[in-house]
Amino acid sequence: MKFKELREATLTKTQIKKVHDKADDLPKNDFIKRYGKDGDSVRFATATKMVKKELGIEDYEEGFKSDAQRRAAFASGYKEKGKKKKEQVSEMMSAFSEMDRTILDEGMLRHIANNVIPRIADGTFGKIYRKFSEDNKGNSATVWDWYNACTDVLWKNPNQTKADFSNNAYVTDRMIEFTNKELIEVD
């Protein structure tokens, strides 16, 4: 369920003057007595809400009839986000485990280069391949080893550029997607 963005209405100079007049009508000492040092701010907030209500100005997008309805909607939205985050972390962890178990051969590497991460420039791909080759001399390498070479070149670069950062996010997303769709579902 998606919710519209919450935005506070902006007031014109005339409306702001009405807020100040309304605040002057409210008992300043009572607000200070009740709310302490924040009393004057609360008094102006109350006056602003009263003027907006008189003028029919809404602070939030249509669909929320009351503050309680808005709070309930946002609370359920946060629950959904938390649930999605847990699912994403679980999906990511299972992809990483599968990468670590899957032997990477030349055919799969070619498939990754051409179909999984085709946006990576040839020069960058060459750096990653050299790093991967240095780290795995004579050893059977896994998809995880390839992914680590990618992040070593793109993420751990001491002179990281914005392109490196973007490419690292791209490689991570694409490698997780590849693993979940093509490696885990095939098993």
Give the model confidence (pLDDT) of 59-70 as tens digits. 544 444 555 555
Cβ-based neighbour number of residue 144 at 10 Å: 19
Give the model confidence (pLDDT) of 83-135 as tens digits. 567 777 888 888 888 999 999 999 999 999 999 999 999 999 999 999 999 99
Smallest Cα–Cα separation from 100: which of 49, 163, 146, 167?
146
Rg (CA), the chain: 28
- Helix axes of 39-55 and 28-35: crossing angle, nearest 10 degrees: 120
